[in-house]
Amino acid sequence: SMKGRLCVQMFSFDQPFQSYQKDDFAKDFMKDPNVISNLRMISGDKWTVVGIPATSVTAEPVPCSVLSMTFFDRLTENNVVRESGHISKCFDEFCGEFTISDELRKMLLIDDSDNYCLYSDSEREEFLFRIFFHICLGGRFNQYEDEIQPYLDVTKQVYKDLIR
């Protein structure tokens, strides 16, 4: 259910910027007439233009210091993923709208699972981890992979496309 529900839009900014100004920048961005008339969002099953200025905005810095896919090697080192690349299965558990049938999703979603601590809170905030998280969980109608490599390949490609 991710197909047709993901969109990347790019806007240019040509003024000086300091990170301590992030909230003002985000607020000004969301009030800019060009952004308001072009920024799209999904509403139900249809894309629509935002069309109205934001009344309040909060910006959250996302660290982007992890640059290598070796970041995910610990999944294999800790048996979340087998040496063959197959994701280790587990008994079904439920977390919100997710049915968890493997150790990967359990590690991603359940904070008291045996493997949740493989990634610290600060590592989970990393841009690369966030992309991986969303790719692995998918949408409501996602059909999960049995092997890790497709998730890693798509994560790497999305990361490169967004950074570029």
Q: How far apart are CA 62 and CA 158, in angstroms?
A: 16
Asked if 92 contacts 101 with a C-beta cutoff of 8 angstroms, the reply is yes
Residue 162's pLDDT is what? 87
- Residue 144 has which token pair? 């999960």
pLDDT tens-place string over residues 62-113: 999 999 999 999 999 999 999 999 999 999 999 888 889 999 999 999 999 9
From 38, 127, 138, select the one nearest 97 (Cα to Cα).
138
pTM above 0.85, yes or no: no
CA nearest neighbour of 39 among 4, 10, 63, 80:
10
Q: For the chain, which residues make up each domain, given as ranges? A: 1-60, 69-163
- What pLDDT, on the 0 to 100 scale, is given for residue 13? 86
